[in-house]
Chain A
């Protein structure tokens, strides 16, 4: 046994949703949600977070379901794993974009454990914050640890830890909606509005709340979907940039398009200006060049975790070109 041991914990294994809500209400931010565990257990082992109570959602059977409800919506529970997403005929049939994104997360074993909602709730990452307790003895705390400095962006006035969930761009592009549960019941939010842009507290989530489901509307006809992730070593590494694109072409023209990025900044980027520009346009070299400029303008990529702004910009441009080429090959 080495020093990478979990701290002393209290582990709750609620049998019902009500029980889980009750515990979360009592312990607030001192309790963390355990679903896949692949993000939260390393945070605990490195003592990045102070919580010493764990609420295991896997003991609540309804959270493990993928169900199709009325109004054609598909509901994915809090403990549905990425592997479940890949194996679900329902999802594979209706939301291949989500499957493509799920496959690009981490690796085999992690995908068998990690949940889709966990990937949405994954903490922002940075070279410095995600270090051990021993490591942090050598320097003062950063914003995310309660200090008043950022090491990632030297002299930065806020936390610049990156948003890294690979499935997030796909879910935003699909207009997915979250069910967030707390003592006052369930509230709904789009995935897009779930991210704060504050690296210290990246999610719009009160201390007594947790995400219990994500809902997808059946995808409408005529959309083509694609996802790309750039990283040093394929899926295993965090994205240097990840992009989801949905495109509804009309001949050579773009009738509608969605472009969403993650892994480039403190929160996911929905390329709204680029979308407005592209709608109704012909796909040709000039429009692509102009669109790339707009994407880069609105995504404001950062230099951190593994690469520089310069490379991120080139990657974003290349991904855009490649996805567009794939979704609407110019004859």
Chain B
């Protein structure tokens, strides 16, 4: 159970961090890199709250070993907005009332960003399919789907 020093590329920055073989990427992001925007809700890959983008694809950081994430490009929710302001998807979530308790929000925003980058004009059904692995207990998903639709209409995926 030696600590191993690894390099992770997170939100465009190279971060050197000591990890154990049984540390998940989620644990390292939250506890060693202070990137607490990524949430832990089930730890078993059953809820989507810990979604991050690895090499531009949404994946579950709770089922990713930290040592297995080296050499890849990791984007967390902290890497979506800039000091200048919110990303178009985030803006749309705010304006459409898609956020309630907010615990599922970072994971869904990242999932939606990936969807729009692949498919700038998704149908209602395609949006629902894309986020069907992200549990939300507050919203009934209605306003989340509307927000993603509105972001697409505003050109967020282009």
Direct contact of A and B (CB under 8 A): yes
Most chain B beta carbons < 10 A, residue from A41, A234, A235? A41
Q: Which residues in chain B, 44-58, are within 8 Å of chain A measured between CB atoms?
A: 44-45, 48, 51, 57-58
Determine the distance from Cα of A235 to Cα of B22 in the docked complex, in whole angstroms. Answer: 29
Q: CB distance B67 to A108 under 8 Å? A: no
- Chain B residue total in the interface (Cβ 8 A): 30
Q: CB distance A236 to B132 under 8 Å? A: yes
Q: Which residues in chain A, 227-241, are within 8 Å of chain B measured between CB atoms?
A: 233-236
Give the contact-size bracket for chain A: 20 to 34
Contact of B43 with A by CB under 8 A: yes
Q: Could you give, for residues 264-305 of chain A, a 1 whenever the CB lies within 8 Å of some chain B CB and a 0 otherwise?
A: 000000000000000000000000000000000000000000
- SS class, residues of chain A in contact with chain B: mixed
Contact of A200 with B by CB under 8 A: no
Cβ 8 A contact of B132, one of A7, A13, A83, A108: A108
Most chain B beta carbons < 10 A, residue from A2, A5, A6? A6
Total A-B contacts with CB atoms under 8 angstroms apart: 88
Determine the distance from Cα of A296 to Cα of B51 in the docked complex, in whole angstroms. Answer: 40
Interface residues of B (CB under 8 A from A): 1, 20-24, 27, 31, 40, 42-45, 48, 51, 57-60, 63-65, 67-68, 111, 129-133
Task: Give the Cβ gap from B150 to chain A, nearest Cβ, in Å.
Answer: 20
Contacts of B20 in A (CB 8 A): 8
Asked whether A113 and B65 contact (CB < 8 A) given A11-B21, A54-B21, A235-B132, the answer is no
Contacts of A45 in B (CB 8 A): 43-44
**A-B contact list, 17 entries, CB within 8 Å:** A2-B40, A2-B43, A5-B43, A6-B23, A8-B1, A8-B21, A9-B21, A9-B22, A11-B21, A11-B65, A37-B68, A38-B60, A42-B45, A108-B130, A109-B133, A110-B133, A235-B132
Q: CB distance A41 to B45 under 8 Å? A: yes
Determine the distance from Cα of A273 to Cα of B58 in the docked complex, in whole angstroms. Answer: 43
Q: CB distance B133 to A236 under 8 Å? A: yes
Asked whether A4 and B44 contact (CB < 8 A) given A38-B63, A41-B63, A56-B68, the answer is yes
Task: Give the Cβ gap from B152 to chain A, nearest Cβ, in Å.
Answer: 16
Asked whether A107 and B21 contact (CB < 8 A) given A4-B44, A112-B59, A113-B60, the answer is no
